[in-house]
Every structure is written in structure tokens, then in C-alpha cells.
């Protein structure tokens, strides 16, 4: 048994009553690379944030090199030698390499000014020691992503890191940069630094890691030597979430007419040639891991981002250029992933939010807002969607619960009587009861003849609500599963596996 650097026992954590981690145990050995895998929402980020001092744990113990470790804040974690290499880097792209290396503890002169000379010399030494291919004065933002990451790694080593946590480090790297990163990780390991490596790319996990831990539903499923795992076994461990959710049983019919069709859609390097068609009354799920390009696809379909190539067909009319106004004209509605920033005017009243989408139906003959009609309509929407609000004219939406906020987002679109719905994670941050109500809303819209694209990271809700599920991976549709063949393992395989 090699010596254990970090020992984690029985950690639990819940957020506003929802339990995210239920008694997690694992250990990290000195100089090893430990892979951490799990579906979206398995609790990986929460666990890492607890180790990094971002949130406190509810119960459990952590021991770092034999001593109790209880980080109050991220600074304590850094001080004890734990460093995070984030997906989006923690660096200042407008500052130079040197300034980034020393940020937070600039050497200063007797007068209190920054001692630039000393800083530059020290930076040069570090640059040499870590063989960074940069000049100390280079502005960080002008460097390629891979080099920026190297700077971040060097910075954590300067702070004497003993444990480096990599969270999806390769998402923005080129193939070459990825190879360089792997070489660096191998060197770090040689130096006795321990690494926790989180990734969805199983191939990389198999290549890099000494051991692999599977996390599912806030529990450690198993930890074993990499050589004891096969890819199939790994996937088997990641799925198997219990189907506990209850879904509304509403009879509906899928009609012949296609309302929404995507033809060879491309957008930057995030959406690569995506085609599909959705019929009236049909709910089509879209599963995929973070960064698979689902959100980007949704935004392109609704004209929020331009279509680089391809066409969107709505109600048999083809468009190669779109904007939200045009989509609304075609009877489309878009529930974005981030209702706080893109769905609602948080500081405005429920009524004002319900009135956001063009209300041509609520104008009087002179084109002026008919207040009485608006009030009647708002009351109808509030009753219909069962939005819990006492005084919709004055109560602002930021005072509502997540579920009620999401219902207001649905409500603002119902004025338009949408026939094409694009839903991006519509149940994110919503409690179980409200989820069920949102599923009913979606079912009822489909029953009324709407075509629904339902993007979600929760396999079980997709399996419970959809007629078929498309899986996206790396900007492409990697597979499609029809209702009779729904199977968690099959879906996850499609989301994870490399085709080659």
C-alpha cells in the first residue's frame, strides 16, 4: 500500500434540502493520477468544490497528509497545496504572464509600489524551470489555450501544490496541446504530485489514470486499478440511476406534418452538420454531455446565433438566416438554459415578464396595449400554469421559487400559442413537484399539436417524457433511440464513445 495523501471519509452535502453527496469515501495516493468519472449531476463538481474549499461539507472528515483538513475558503485550500485547474481558466487574459503568475502576491518595494524588476526576474526563473514557451511580458490572452493552461499549472506549482485537480482540462485544447498536457501530467506525477483528473473522455482516462473512481447519484460506486476496468464496465457503473421520477400519463398522438427540421446545421466548431426533423405532437429528447453542442444548436435554431451553414425549416418554410423575431412569427418558443440571464427580467413583476413576447393579440384597434385584455390574459396564464404568486402586478420574479420562475418563462411564450418548442434544460434548478408540473405543460403542448425539442442532461426525464431521443456528441448527432429501445446504458454509450 502506497502512502495516502488525501483521505476522504463519509462526506455528505445537500443544497436546499436536496441531497447531492451521500457519504463519499475515497483516497488519493501520493504521486498517482486518479480518474473521476460520472454522468452530469453525479456530484463530481460538488465533491471537488468541497475539497477546494468553495463550499463546506455537511458532515464527514478529510485528512491531508495525516492531518485534519477543513478548508474554510479556497485560499486555505491553496495554502495547503490543493490547486484547481478549471475548465475556464482562472487567469486574467488582459494581464501579462508575469502579472498572472504573481497575482495576489506581487513583490513590492519599500514604498509600496510593485517591484517589477524583482517580479520579472522571478518570473523568468519560473518560466525557465517549467520550460514555458513564453516571454514574461506577453499578454496572456494572446497565447493559445494550451499555453495559458501551462501558465496556470505553473502558477499552482509556484504555490507549492501537492494535489492538482483537473476538471475537463482538454475541452478547449487542440490535439497537440492535449499531448503536451499529458506529458506535463506525467512529469508532475514523477515529481510526486497527486492528480485528480475529471473527464468525460474515457479514452484519456484509460490512458492517464492509475486508478479510476466512479461517482453516481452522489455515491462512490467503485474505485479500482485502471487495468481492472473495461470501457463497458465503466459505462455500466456510470448508468443505472434509479428511475424514481413519476411522469404524467397524458395520451397524445404524433401527427404526420413536420413542423421543425434542421438540415445540415453548422455553427463554429460546436455544431457540426446536425440534421433532424420533429413532427407535430412529437417530443424529441436530446441527450449529451456538457459541451456536446446541444445548447449551441438550440440557440442557432432560434436565431440567437447565426446559422453558419445549413437550413432550418419551420412550417415548411426554409431559413438560412434567422432571428428570434422571425422564429416567434413562425410560432416558435425558446426556453433557455439560463432563465436568470436570458429568460426573465428578474427585477420586474410577473405581469411585465408575461408581457415580454409580442402581444399583437392584446392590442386594441389603435395598436395600443389593451390593459384589461392583458390583465385577463395574465390571470388566465397564472391559473393555467398554476404559478404561485400573490400579486402578479407588483411581485417581482426574483422573489419566486425556481419552479415558479420557470413557469413564468413558459407563460411568457404561451401568448404566442407556440407550435414549435425548443426547451433547453427546462427543469434545471426546479424542485421535484414543479418538475412534474413542467412535464405536464410540455405534454399538453404536444397534445395540442406542438413539436417539442427537449434538451436535457437527465436521462431519466428524457426517457419518461420523449417519443425518441437523439444523442449529441462533439457537435454531431451520434445516435437516435426510439421509445421501445430506451436504455440508459445505450444512451450513455452514444454520448461517450468515440466512433473510431
Partner 1 sequence: MRLAGDMPILPLFVASFVLAMCFVPHFSTIYNLRNCLLQSADLLIISCGLTFVVLNGGIDFSVTSVLALGSVVGAYIMALSPLAATPAWSIPAALAAMVGIGLLVGLVNGFAVVRLKMPSFVATLATQLIVMGLAVQFASKVSQTSSISGLPEAFFVLGGEGKYFLVPLLVALTVFAVSDWLLSRTIFGRRVYAVGVNPKVAFISGIPVRKTIVWLMVLSGCFAGIACIIATARNQVGMASLGDKLFLTTIASVIVGGTSTSGGSGGVRKTLVGVLFITVLNNALNLLGVGWYTSMIVIGGLIVLPACSSHLLNGRNSRR
Smallest distance, Å, CB 72 to partner 1?
28
DSSP structure string for 129-189: HTT-SS-TTSBGGGS-HHHHHHHHHHHHHHTT-SEEEEESTTTT--HHHHHHHHHHHHHHH
**Applying CB under 8 A, does 173 fall inside the site for partner 1?**
no
Which of these ranges, 52-60, 158-166, 214-222, 393-401, lies near partner 1 under the rule CB under 8 A? 393-401
Count the residues of the shown chain that bind partner 1, applying the rule CB under 8 A. Answer: 31
Judged by CB under 8 A, the chain residues 116 through 145 that form the site for partner 1 are: none
Name the strand (E) or helix (H) holding 312.
strand 309-314
Selected binder of partner 1 within 145, 277, 363, 373 (CB under 8 A):
363
Would you say 4 or 304 has its CB closer to partner 1?
Answer: 304
Smallest distance, Å, CB 374 to partner 1?
10
Which of these ranges, 21-29, 192-200, 345-353, 447-455, lies near partner 1 under the rule CB under 8 A? 345-353
Q: How far apart are CA 412 and CA 328, in angstroms?
A: 12
Name the strand (E) or helix (H) holding 116.
helix 116-129
- Whose CA is closest to 343, among 265, 422, 456? 422
**Applying CB under 8 A, does 31 fall inside the site for partner 1?**
no
Selected binder of partner 1 within 367, 383, 499, 500 (CB under 8 A):
367
**Applying CB under 8 A, does 399 fall inside the site for partner 1?**
yes
Residues 468/487, Cβ–Cβ less than 8 Å: no
Selected binder of partner 1 within 176, 321, 358, 361 (CB under 8 A):
358
Which of these ranges, 26-34, 167-175, 227-235, 326-334, lies near partner 1 under the rule CB under 8 A? 326-334
Would you say 176 or 393 has its CB closer to partner 1?
Answer: 393
What is the DSSP-derived secondary structure letter of residue 114? B
**Applying CB under 8 A, does 412 fall inside the site for partner 1?**
yes
- For residue 412, the tally of other CB atoms under 10 A from its CB is 23
Smallest distance, Å, CB 342 to partner 1?
5
**Applying CB under 8 A, does 345 fall inside the site for partner 1?**
yes
3 state SS of 5: strand
Which of these ranges, 98-106, 109-117, 260-268, 325-333, lies near partner 1 under the rule CB under 8 A? 325-333
β-pairing verdict for 211-216 and 219-225: antiparallel
Smallest distance, Å, CB 409 to partner 1?
10
Residues 36/233, Cβ–Cβ less than 8 Å: no
**Applying CB under 8 A, does 410 fall inside the site for partner 1?**
no
**Applying CB under 8 A, does 302 fall inside the site for partner 1?**
yes
Where helices occur in 364-401 by DSSP H, the ranges are 371-384
**Applying CB under 8 A, does 328 fall inside the site for partner 1?**
yes
Q: In this structure, what C-alpha cell is assigned to residue 247?
A: 411522469
Q: In this structure, what C-alpha cell is assigned to residue 128?
A: 525557465
**Applying CB under 8 A, does 347 fall inside the site for partner 1?**
yes
Would you say 134 or 344 has its CB closer to partner 1?
Answer: 344
Which of these ranges, 167-175, 192-200, 259-267, 391-399, lies near partner 1 under the rule CB under 8 A? 391-399
**Applying CB under 8 A, does 304 fall inside the site for partner 1?**
yes
- Whose CA is closest to 404, among 387, 380, 390? 387
- For residue 231, the tally of other CB atoms under 10 A from its CB is 15
Smallest distance, Å, CB 356 to partner 1?
4
Q: For binding to partner 1 (CB under 8 A), which residues are involved?
A: 302, 304, 324-325, 327-328, 334, 336, 341-348, 352, 355-359, 363, 367-369, 371, 395-396, 399, 412
Amino acid at each position: 500500500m502506497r502512502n495516502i495523501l488525501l483521505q476522504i471519509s463519509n462526506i455528505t452535502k445537500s443544497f436546499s434540502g436536496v441531497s447531492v453527496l451521500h457519504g463519499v469515501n475515497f483516497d488519493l495516493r501520493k504521486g498517482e493520477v486518479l480518474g473521476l468519472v460520472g454522468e452530469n449531476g453525479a456530484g463530481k463538481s460538488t465533491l471537488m468544490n468541497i475539497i477546494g474549499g468553495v463550499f463546506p461539507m455537511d458532515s464527514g472528515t478529510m485528512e491531508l497528509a495525516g492531518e485534519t483538513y477543513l478548508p474554510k475558503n479556497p485560499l486555505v485550500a491553496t495554502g495547503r497545496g490543493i490547486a484547481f485547474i478549471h475548465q475556464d481558466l482562472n487567469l486574467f487574459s488582459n494581464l501579462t504572464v508575469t502579472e498572472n503568475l504573481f497575482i495576489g502576491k506581487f513583490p513590492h518595494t519599500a514604498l509600496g509600489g510593485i517591484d517589477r524588476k524583482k517580479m520579472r526576474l522571478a518570473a523568468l526563473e519560473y518560466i525557465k524551470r517549467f520550460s514555458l514557451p513564453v516571454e514574461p511580458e506577453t499578454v496572456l490572452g494572446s497565447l493559445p489555450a494550451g499555453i495559458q493552461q501551462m501558465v496556470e499549472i505553473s502558477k499552482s506549482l509556484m504555490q507549492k501544490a501537492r494535489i492538482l485537480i483537473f476538471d475537463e482540462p482538454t475541452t478547449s485544447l487542440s490535439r497537440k496541446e492535449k499531448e503536451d498536457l499529458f506529458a506535463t501530467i506525467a512529469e508532475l506525477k514523477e515529481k510526486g504530485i497527486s492528480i485528480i483528473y475529471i473527464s468525460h473522455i474515457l479514452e484519456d482516462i484509460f490512458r492517464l489514470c492509475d486508478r479510476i473512481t466512479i461517482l453516481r447519484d452522489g455515491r462512490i460506486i467503485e474505485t479500482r486499478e485502471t487495468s481492472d476496468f473495461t470501457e463497458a464496465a465503466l459505462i455500466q457503473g456510470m448508468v443505472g440511476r434509479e428511475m424514481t421520477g413519476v411522469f404524467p400519463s397524458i395520451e397524445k398522438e404524433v401527427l404526420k406534418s413536420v413542423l421543425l427540421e434542421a438540415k445540415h446545421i453548422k455553427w463554429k466548431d460546436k455544431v457540426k452538420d446536425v440534421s433532424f426533423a420533429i413532427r407535430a405532437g412529437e417530443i424529441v429528447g436530446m441527450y449529451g454531455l456538457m459541451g456536446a453542442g446541444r445548447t449551441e444548436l438550440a440557440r442557432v435554431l432560434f436565431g440567437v446565433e447565426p446559422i453558419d451553414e445549413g437550413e432550418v425549416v419551420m412550417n415548411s418554410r426554409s431559413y438560412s438566416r434567422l432571428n428570434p423575431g422571425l422564429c416567434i412569427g413562425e410560432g416558435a418558443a425558446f426556453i433557455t438554459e439560463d432563465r436568470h440571464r436570458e429568460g426573465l427580467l428578474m427585477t420586474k413583476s410577473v405581469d411585465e415578464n408575461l408581457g415580454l413576447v409580442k402581444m399583437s393579440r392584446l392590442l386594441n384597434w389603435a395598436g395600443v396595449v389593451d390593459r384589461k385584455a392583458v390583465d385577463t390574459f395574465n390571470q388566465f396564464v397564472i391559473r393555467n400554469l398554476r404559478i404561485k404568486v400573490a400579486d402578479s402586478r407588483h411581485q417581482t420574479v426574483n422573489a419566486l421559487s425556481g419552479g415558479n420562475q420557470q413557469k413564468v418563462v413558459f407563460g411568457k411564450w404561451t401568448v404566442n400559442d407556440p407550435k414549435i418548442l425548443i426547451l433547453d434544460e427546462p427543469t434545471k434548478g426546479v424542485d421535484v413537484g414543479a418538475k412534474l408540473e413542467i412535464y405536464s405543460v410540455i405534454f399538453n403542448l404536444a397534445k395540442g399539436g406542438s413539436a417539442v425539442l427537449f434538451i436535457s442532461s437527465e436521462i431519466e426525464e428524457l426517457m419518461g417524457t420523449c417519443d425518441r431521443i437523439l444523442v449529441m456528441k462533439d457537435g454531431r448527432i451520434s445516435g437516435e433511440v426510439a421509445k421501445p429501445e430506451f436504455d440508459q446504458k445505450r444512451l450513455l454509450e452514444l454520448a461517450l464513445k468515440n466512433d473510431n
